[in-house]
Amino acid sequence: MELTAVTLFIALIAILLGLYYWSTSTYNHWKNLGISGPHPIPLVGNFGSVLLSQQCILEKHMDLYNEWKNEPFFGVFNGSKPILLVNDLEVVKNILIKDFHAFPGRGIEIDEKYEPLEGHLFNIDGHRWKVLREKLTPAFTTGKLKQMVELMIECTEQFEKYLHEQVGEGNIIECREASAKYATDVIGSCAFGLNMNALTKEDCEFRIMGRKLFQPTFLQMISRLFRIYSPKLYKFLRLKSVPPKDAKFFIDTIKTTIEYREKNNIVRHDLVDILKDIKNNQDDIDFEFTEALLASQAFVFFIGGFETSSTTMSFALYELANVPEIQDKLRTEIKDLLKNNNGELSYDVINEMKYLNLVLQEAMRKYPALYIVSRKSSKPYKIPGYDVILPKDTLIDIPIYSIQYDERYYPNPHEFIPERFSEGNNNRNRMAYLPFGAGPKKCIGGRFAMYEVKLGIITVIKNYKVTLSKLTQVPFPGPRPMPFVGNSGSVIFNQQSFIEKQRELYNKWKHEPFVGLFYGRTPVLLINDLDLIKNILITDFHKFPGRGVKVNKNFEPLEDHLLNLQGHRWKILRTKLGPAFTIGKLKQMIDLIIECSEQFTKYLQIKVKKENVIECYEATSKYTMNVIGSCIFGINIDALEKEDNIFTKLGKRSTVLNLLYMIQRLIHYVAPEFYELPSSLNISKEHTRFFVDFVNKTIEHREQNNIVRHDLIEIFKDIKKNKEDIGLEWTESLLAAQALVFFVAGFETSSKTISSALYELAIFPEIQEKLRIEIVNTLKKHNGQLSYDAINEMKYLDMVMKETLRKYPPATELNRKNIVPYKIPGHDVILPPGSSIHVPIYCIQNDELHYSNPELFVPERFSEENDNKRNSMTYMPFGAGPKRCIGLKFAVYQTKLGLIAAIKNFKVIPSELTQIPYKIDKSNLVLSSENGIHLKFESLI
């Protein structure tokens, strides 16, 4: 028994090792050729997310393209199969056109004996393809197209009747199905000479077969996956892409149609007639032309003619419904031209509809029938301009869909803009638009499909106004969520910082005005459009008055602060607390901050004598803590002297994650109904009690001793004394909550900003020297004395500060929640009340669209001239609108004085411990460096 178990275990290990070796044996292929690309995963290669249905193939291709689009080409693995994705448009042109002889086929393996309908023009290559292409081309000449247009017009008349009946029964029509029925009738009439009656008969056999082919069963899906990822196994298991019954139906139909025409001497000059001529004149064809080979050509024209055309038509109608002004413009063109031609449609009239042509081209740009074009090299091939030789049988994919969504070729690619294709704008590289492919293998029926779709659109738009219905899916673009964790699994499990994850999502979706995400089970709308951000934060603030944070006052009393409140309570508190931060109060506070900065200088001098490498977070947080203590609470915290200071401990705990907090956050994301709020400040009960007692005792001490200091505590004292006049319940914990948020925000964010500024100044010594010269010269003008006015004269210091806040904003995002239904301006989207809105400040402020080379530290971005040019919504380190940070001016002066103290007296340079490049700390709630900021300070005093 034991031996059997051991044997089974060894066998299992052997099988797994065998699978691993088999699936990874090709994974050095691209590396050996000197071609870069993403690292593959055993068994699935680079397409695991597609196999697991986490992404569709289009999404995956777009991800890969966006990551590697600056490479001319890159290698991926479809399972174990190496594929070269080509981005460089000149290389694309070479492969598809100039060097077609080296890439004559698509590399599709077929077995015509087992799958008789696979031997069609799309799949075959070489000599057979060339002969068939020549024989079939006459079906699509201009002369034949003109004849076919008349047949198409007859079908549109039937389509018009169908639509009229459907609208009579109910005005919502499923466009995909309606378009497919119309396209099926067109193909039947023009290609096969058959009246298929798909528009009038629900049991039309061809329409039923079309549904089967493009709505596959689960087993057919599995079969197709095997064909893509393991063609050998597909062949070994004798799987089929088209069920035998359907294949037989098609072969018999073509055979019967040809025989009927021959017996009755019927000539229609269509595809079936060409197939009939090929069948009867095989003497000049040097390969066997079987009934199945004939039928397979008809089969591919049927699929291409009805499926791709109906899909394109449906998408065009969707876009026209979504952008009514384009629809109206198109309708005007159609009606005017028909009026000029006595209401009659014809080949020439359709060609006069220039705007219709633009609409169709833009629809095919956004929704190309094929998302890739595939080729296979028939011999070794040196890529022109590159030192790379591709071996024979290399598989090539050209990512049409991704190229046609590339902003380098199409600005704002997700918007539907027909004018892109007007004569004045259509000067782009031809290889950036390939909906029908390019070169000798370009779709043979492309022009036929264009007229088929155009006539379908004309029929609809001429007679009907098309609008979005309640059943129309206008999906928020965004990544597919995972069970339990949504799109935040890597953050919840501390694999990525929140900022890193958000930036990853932003970079992928930044060209969308908004993106739908899931934080656990909670839907969140990420807003990228700057005008929409302005509406939410400022113009429509009354509809988004709060951050949507639920506070359990009994469970976490110190969460009931200004940052979390909204509505009437927030308005009263904001009004009462505002006087603590007026210009007059700031001028009074400056002297107190200067005192703290002098103590900071002494602290740095002592530290430098002991060790010249200083951890900046630690040092600056002690300085800012002293400032907060003195200016806000009127006490000497003495953090620069005492290591075991209770405030220092409280400050450190408030922003660092621990295991308990991680568990709380996990519950918050996955099941918020079980845990309303993991404390944003991470404060223990012990520290909560300390802070409540501290604020109360400070107020009592001042009242008993008639002490007046005109600071925040003084305002608290007045509020407590006159709480009956305020209009809300005022408790000790509510007072303490306001004090705590000012304490944490005041010391933590400012210390991080000073540290980040010092980090950048150490890396860029020329900027540091320029700043030092300004500080020294300004102080010289003021007899060596710092003051409110002297600080305001330091313009370059202001630029350095602003550039630091751009790269390292204290708040990396803003949250809002609407209290009423909200229609997004310019979009047919209504947000229900309670929608969570996130504005990605960090991502916007580090976006090259708004700041060229955003990773560089360039204070001159914020010169007066440059500052006036940019959209104000691209710079929001303290938020925007009525909820903008109440203490921002205080924070600015506190930070500036800390920088002045350091740069005036010390030269700051990177040390051996300085982390370059900057890595974000996953365990901190505020944007900060992973291992702290360790800089060498050299005294200049």
Classify residue 859 by its DSSP letter.
Answer: G
- The per-residue pLDDT for 679 is 46
pTM (2 d.p.) = 0.61
- The per-residue pLDDT for 532 is 95
The four Cα atoms 589, 592, 593, 598 give a dihedral, to 10 degrees, of 160
- The per-residue pLDDT for 759 is 95
- The per-residue pLDDT for 863 is 92
Q: Name 146's Cβ contacts closer than 8 Å, sequence gap at least 6.
A: 347
- The per-residue pLDDT for 682 is 47
- The per-residue pLDDT for 579 is 81
CA distance 400 to 86: 10
Helix (H) or strand (E) segment spanning residue 908: strand 906-910
Classify residue 562 by its DSSP letter.
Answer: T
CA distance 336 to 213: 40
Tell me: is residue 631 an annotated ligand-binding position. Answer: no
- Based on its alpha-carbon atoms, the radius of gyration of the chain, rounded to whole angstroms, reads 35
Sign of CA dihedral 141, 146, 151, 157: positive
Count CA atoms within 13 Å of residue 766 on its CB side.
4
- The per-residue pLDDT for 659 is 45
476: its two tokens: 């928020």
Q: DSSP 3-state assignment of 837?
A: strand
Q: Pick out the chain residues at pLDDT < 50.
A: 1, 656-661, 669-670, 675-682
Q: DSSP 3-state assignment of 613?
A: strand
Label each residue of 630-664 as H, E or C.
Answer: HHCCCCCCCCCCCCCCHHHHHHHHHHECCHHHHHH
Q: Name 905's Cβ contacts closer than 8 Å, sequence gap at least 6.
A: 601, 604, 605, 939, 940, 941
Helix (H) or strand (E) segment spanning residue 262: helix 244-264
Instruction: Identify each DSSP E strand in 331-371 by its residue range.
Output: none
CA distance 920 to 499: 8
Helix (H) or strand (E) segment spanning residue 527: strand 522-527
CA distance 22 to 80: 8
Which CATH number fits the domain 514-939, given the four candidates 3.90.1200.10, 3.30.70.20, 1.10.630.10, 3.30.420.40?
1.10.630.10
Q: DSSP 3-state assignment of 525?
A: strand
CA distance 630 to 639: 11
CA distance 760 to 625: 23
Q: What order of strands is seen across the sheet that includes strand 514-519?
A: 514-519, 522-527, 836-839, 814-817
Q: Which fold has domain 1-118+369-403?
A: 3.30.43
CA distance 690 to 681: 15
CA distance 337 to 320: 19
- The per-residue pLDDT for 558 is 66
Backbone angles phi, psi at 476, to 5 degrees: -70, 125
- The per-residue pLDDT for 681 is 45
Q: Which of 272, 262, 267, 275 is nearest to 135 (CA)?
A: 275
Domain with CATH 3.30.43.20 in the chain: 1-118+369-403
Which CATH number fits the domain 139-366+445-463, given the four candidates 1.20.120.80, 1.20.1530.20, 1.10.10.10, 1.10.630.10?
1.10.630.10
761: its two tokens: 């100044």
Count CB neighbours of 210 within 10 A: 22
439: its two tokens: 């070169």
Domain with CATH 1.10.630.10 in the chain: 139-366+445-463, 514-939
- The per-residue pLDDT for 677 is 45
Q: Alpha carbon of 900 to those of 228, 248, 600, 735, 896: distances in Å?
A: 64, 85, 11, 34, 6
> Do the Cβ atoms of 373 and 434 come closer than 8 Å?
yes
- The per-residue pLDDT for 742 is 78
CA distance 600 to 606: 10
Backbone angles phi, psi at 910, to 5 degrees: -65, 145
- The per-residue pLDDT for 68 is 93
CA distance 855 to 876: 17
> Do the Cβ atoms of 394 and 84 come closer than 8 Å?
yes
CA distance 347 to 147: 9
First and final C-alpha spacing in the chain: 83
CA 254 from centre of chain:
47
* Residues paired with residue 839 on neighbouring β-strands, in sequence order: 814
